[in-house]
């Protein structure tokens, strides 16, 4: 475990006294996770699925971009188009994973309503299915979100006709959504439906998706990082989500590095050398110079961080903080992040 870990002290409330994971988030059933490319969106979605399943729950982690990110994160073979158990959650509980594929989803529909039989696969091989999903760019998103909605609504023991008990199969579904640039378009199913026929089964289902996405059952989290561009994109996305009337969740600030030296501390070369010698370190001039330039880079970074932090604070959303993991993200790292999420109050109220 990393000795950089500082979040033990992060706590349930942020510095402004805002609760990091208020009840509204604990009650949500669909957690959409977006973020600028490279900020660790998929990793945090996975850690969130683990944290929400902790203590005997069951969650589903869904990916929609066809990159098999879940399999890579959990170190499993590529996921088929089927929900599959991928991890055991802390203190009991399980996480299942699903890689939704628009073409498979379309075939599933056609299968259900038109009984295509085996020929569906042939059509897929011919490229006909891809063609149909390409023809109407909105169709792809409608199919993907439609599948997610179906998973949220699924109940224990449900059969193909949707009959089952009242108890939801999944406590919560975590959607690893497209990155910030595309996410609002992806979730704005109403607009996407404009390109589709006015009647028919997909239309009906889409209306259900719209209702779910705009209900308190859904929250959209944005993963950010304490740098200029990711913060700018986060804030832009928060605005766009509000405009599209999509319910905001938390800002998940990822890869927070420890502040070793307050900005106000100036490091004097002579004092540093004396301090080093007191610690038994007798370094050459260029070594000491190197340490000093690391200090000045650190100071510069802290200045940038404090600037972007105040811009994030102004967004008025709950904030979760996660550290940079020294060993990078492997399966153990996911559990470590899940634990840190739980320490900040992340939970699902069943």
Partner 1 sequence: MTAEPVPDGGRGRRPQHLDLDALIDDRATRVVVCCGSGGVGKTTTAAALALRAAARGRRVVVLTIDPAKRLAQSMGLEELDNEPRVVPGVDPGAGGELQAMMLDMRRTFDEMVLGHTTPDRAQAIFDNPFYQTISSSFSGTQEYMAMEKLGQLAATGRWDLIVVDTPPSRSALDFLDAPQRLSSFLDGRMIRLLSAPARAGGSALRKLVGSTFNLFAKAVSTILGGQMLADASAFVQAFDTLFGGFQERANATYQLLRAPGTAFLVVAAPEPDALREASYFVERLGTERMPLAGMVLNRTHPVHATLSGARAREGAESLEAARGDATTAAVLRLHADRVETAERERRVLARFTRAHPAVPIVDVPAMATDVHDLDGLRAIGELLSS
How far, rounded to the nearest angstrom, does the alpha carbon of residue 232 sit from its chain's CA centroid?
A: 18
Shorter beta-carbon distance to partner 1: residue 134 or 165: 134
**Residue 300 lies near partner 1 (rule: CB under 8 A):** yes
Total residues binding partner 1 (CB under 8 A): 76
Helix, strand or coil, per DSSP, at residue 216: coil
Distance in angstroms (rounded) separating the CA atoms of residues 322 and 346: 12
Please report how close the Cβ of residue 100 comes to partner 1 at its closest, in angstroms: 15
Span 17-56, contacts to partner 1 by CB under 8 A: 36-39
**304 touches partner 1 (CB under 8 A):** yes
Coil, helix or strand for 204?
helix
By beta-carbon proximity to partner 1, the closer residue of 43 and 344 is 43
Q: Return d(Cα 70, Cα 89) in angstroms, integer.
A: 15
Beta bridge partners of 176: 33, 63
- Ranges within 62-81 binding partner 1 (CB under 8 A): 65, 67, 72
Question: Which stretches of 7-118 are DSSP H helices?
Answer: 23-27, 41-53, 69-74, 102-114
Return the number of the residue (39 or 59) whose C-beta is nearest partner 1.
39
- Does residue 195 touch partner 1 according to CB under 8 A? yes
Instruction: Quote the least distance from Cβ 233 to partner 1, whole Å.
Output: 9
- Binding partner 1 (rule: CB under 8 A), the pick from 9, 166, 197, 264 is 197
Question: Using the rule CB under 8 A, is 287 a contact of partner 1?
Answer: yes
Tell me the sheet residues that pair with 84. 97
The yes or no reply on residue 228 touching partner 1 (CB under 8 A) is yes
CB under 8 A: which stretch of 8-16, 119-127, 151-159, 312-320 binds partner 1? 119-127
Residue 197 to residue 32: CA distance in whole angstroms: 27
* Strand bridging mode 248-256 / 218-225: parallel
CB of 117 to partner 1, least distance (A): 7
The length of the chain is: 350
Among 8, 77, 78, 117, binds partner 1 (CB under 8 A): 117
Q: What is the largest CA-CA distance in the chain?
A: 81
In whole angstroms, what separates CA 257 from the centre of its chain? 20
- Rounded to the nearest whole angstrom, what is the least distance from the CB of residue 77 to partner 1 in the complex? 16
Residue ranges in 202-221 that form contacts with partner 1 under rule CB under 8 A: 202
Asked if residue 285 binds partner 1 (CB under 8 A), the reply is no
> Which of 68, 94, 95 minimizes the C-alpha distance to 81?
68
Identified binder of partner 1 from the candidate list 5, 214, 301, 309, rule CB under 8 A: 301
Query: Which window, 24-32, 169-177, 277-285, 339-347, contacts partner 1 (CB under 8 A)?
Result: 277-285
Residue 332 touching partner 1 (CB under 8 A): no
Q: Which is nearer to partner 1, 15 or 297 (CB)?
A: 297
Q: How far, in Å, CA of 341 to CA of 346, rounded?
A: 5
Rounded to a whole number of angstroms, the minimum distance from the CB of residue 290 to partner 1 is 3
Is 156 near partner 1 (CB under 8 A)? no
Contact 182, 236 (CB under 8 A): no
Residue 192's contacts (CB-CB under 8 Å, 6 or more residues apart) are 137, 138, 139, 141, 142, 185, 206
Binding span for partner 1 by CB under 8 A among 11-19, 157-165, 292-300, 334-342: 292-300
The answer to whether the beta carbons of residues 344 and 9 sit under 8 Å apart is: no
Closer residue to partner 1, CB minimum distance, 86 or 202: 202
Given candidates 298, 309, 339, 343, which one binds partner 1 under the rule CB under 8 A?
A: 298
Contacting partner 1 within 133-152 (CB under 8 A): 134-137, 139
Q: What Rg do the C-alpha atoms of the chain give, in angstroms?
A: 23
């Amino acid at each position: 475990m990393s000795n950089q870990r500082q979040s033990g002290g992060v706590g349930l409330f942020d510095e402004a006294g805002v609760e990091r994971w208020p009840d509204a988030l604990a009650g949500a059933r669909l957690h959409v996770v977006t973020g600028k490319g490279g900020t660790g969106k998929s990793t945090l979605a996975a850690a969130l699925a683990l944290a929400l399943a902790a203590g005997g729950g069951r969650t589903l982690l869904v990916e929609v971009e066809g990159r098999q990110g879940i399999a890579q994160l959990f170190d499993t073979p590529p996921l088929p188009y089927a929900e599959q158990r991928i991890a055991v959650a802390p203190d009991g509980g399980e996480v299942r994973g699903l890689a939704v594929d628009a073409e498979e989803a379309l075939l599933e529909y056609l299968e259900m309503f038109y009984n295509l039989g085996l020929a569906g696969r042939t059509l897929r091989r011919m490229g006909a299915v891809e063609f149909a999903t390409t023809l109407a760019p909105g169709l792809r998103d409608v199919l993907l979100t439609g599948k997610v909605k179906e998973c949220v609504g699924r109940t224990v023991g449900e059969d193909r006709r949707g009959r089952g008990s009242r108890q939801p199969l999944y406590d919560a579904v975590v959607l690893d959504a497209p990155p910030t640039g595309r996410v609002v378009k992806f979730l704005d199913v109403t607009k996407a439906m404009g390109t589709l026929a006015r009647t028919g089964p997909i239309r009906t289902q889409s209306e259900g998706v719209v209702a779910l996405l705009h209900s308190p059952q859904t929250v959209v989290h944005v993963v950010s990082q304490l740098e200029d561009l990711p913060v700018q994109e986060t804030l832009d996305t928060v605005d766009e989500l509000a405009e599209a009337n999509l319910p905001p969740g938390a800002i998940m600030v990822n890869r927070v590095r420890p502040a070793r030296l307050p900005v106000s501390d100036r490091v004097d070369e002579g004092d540093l050398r004396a301090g080093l010698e007191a610690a038994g370190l007798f370094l050459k001039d260029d070594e000491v110079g190197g340490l000093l330039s690391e200090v000045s880079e650190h100071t510069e970074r802290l200045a940038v961080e404090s600037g972007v932090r105040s811009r994030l604070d102004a967004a008025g959303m709950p904030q979760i903080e996660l550290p940079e993991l020294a060993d990078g993200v492997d399966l153990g790292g996911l559990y470590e992040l899940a634990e840190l999420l739980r320490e900040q109050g992340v939970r699902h109220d069943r």
